[in-house]
Amino acid sequence: MVLKYRKLGRYGVKVSEISLGSWLTYGASYGKERTEACIRKAYDLGINYFDTADVYGMGQTHAGAAEEVLGEILPDYPRSSYVLATKTFWPVGDGPNDRGLSRKHIIEQCNASLKRLKTDYVDIFYCHRYDPDTPLDETLRAIDDLIRQGKVLYAGISEWTATQIADGVHTTRHLNLNPIAVNQPIYNMLNRYIEDEVMPLCSREGIGLAVFSPLAQGILTGKYRKGQEIPKDSRAADESAGRGVSRLLTDEVLTKVERLEAVASDLGMSLAQLSLAWILTHPEISSVIIGASRPGQIEENVKAAGKTLDQETMEAIEGILDEQ
The residues annotated with a catalytic role in the active site are: 56
Q: Are 62 and 28 in contact (CB under 8 A)?
A: no
Cβ partners under 8 Å of residue 229, min gap 6? none
Q: Are 204 and 165 in contact (CB under 8 A)?
A: no
Residue 259 CA to residue 215 CA, distance in Å, equals 15
Cβ partners under 8 Å of residue 157, min gap 6? 126, 127, 130, 164, 165, 168, 180, 182, 183, 184
DSSP class per residue in 219-248: GGGT---TTSPPPTTSGGG-TTT-HHHHHH
Closest by CA to 233, choosing from 220, 248, 218, 243, is 218
DSSP class per residue in 290-314: E--SSHHHHHHHHGGGG----HHHH
Burial of 271 (0-12, 13-18, 19+ CB in 10 A): buried
Number of H helices, E strands in the chain: 11, 10
CA angle 112, 115, 120 (to 5 degrees): 115
Strand 14-16 relative to strand 5-7, pairing: antiparallel
Cβ partners under 8 Å of residue 236, min gap 6? 217, 218, 224, 230, 242, 245, 246, 249
Closest by CA to 183, choosing from 170, 196, 198, 204, is 198
Q: Are 300 and 273 in contact (CB under 8 A)?
A: yes
